[in-house]
């Protein structure tokens, strides 16, 4: 399945852990469920003009939730942790306080 680079990367992941990775030149993104490592690498290199060194893909499992008597589940999703070459940065994370 071929996806356009704008369809592969859905959003940056905003969490303490993901901002902790910035010091190691790693950036975390929420990605399309059908995207694979090669597509993530190509999308990041094309959209942000950086050189990608490595990509790790993780499937976040759905979690059961309940509110009173009602049960349900939060949907699962897929995230990618992308490591860029030393010296390269991604601008959407530049305002983050590490």
Return the domain boundaries, the chain.
Answer: 5-87
Give the helix/strand (H/E) hosting 41.
helix 37-48
29: how many CB neighbours lie within 10 A of its CB?
Answer: 23
Cβ distance 44 to 52 under 8 Å?
yes
pLDDT at 96 (0 to 100): 55
CATH superfamily of 5-87: RRM (RNA recognition motif) domain (3.30.70.330)
Task: State the residue for tokens 């059908």.
Answer: 34
Residue 80: partners with Cβ closer than 8 Å, 6 or more residues away: 28, 29, 31, 35, 37, 40, 55, 56, 57, 58
One digit per residue, the tens of pLDDT, for the chain of length 98 reads 688 888 999 999 999 999 899 989 999 999 999 999 999 999 999 999 999 999 999 999 999 999 999 999 999 999 999 999 999 888 876 665 55
pLDDT 10s digits, 63-73: 999 999 999 99
Q: For residue 45, what are the contacts with CB-CB under 8 A and spacing of at least 6?
A: 51, 52
């Amino acid at each position: 399945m071929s996806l356009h680079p704008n369809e592969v990367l859905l959003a940056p992941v905003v969490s303490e852990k993901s901002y902790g990775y910035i010091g190691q030149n790693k950036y975390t993104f929420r990605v399309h469920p059908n995207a694979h490592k090669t597509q993530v690498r190509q999308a990041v290199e094309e959209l942000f003009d950086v050189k990608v060194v490595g990509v790790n893909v993780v499937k976040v499992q759905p979690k059961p939730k309940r509110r009173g008597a009602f049960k349900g589940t939060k949907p699962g999703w897929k995230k990618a942790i992308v490591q860029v070459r030393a010296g390269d940065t991604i601008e959407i994370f530049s305002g983050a306080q590490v």
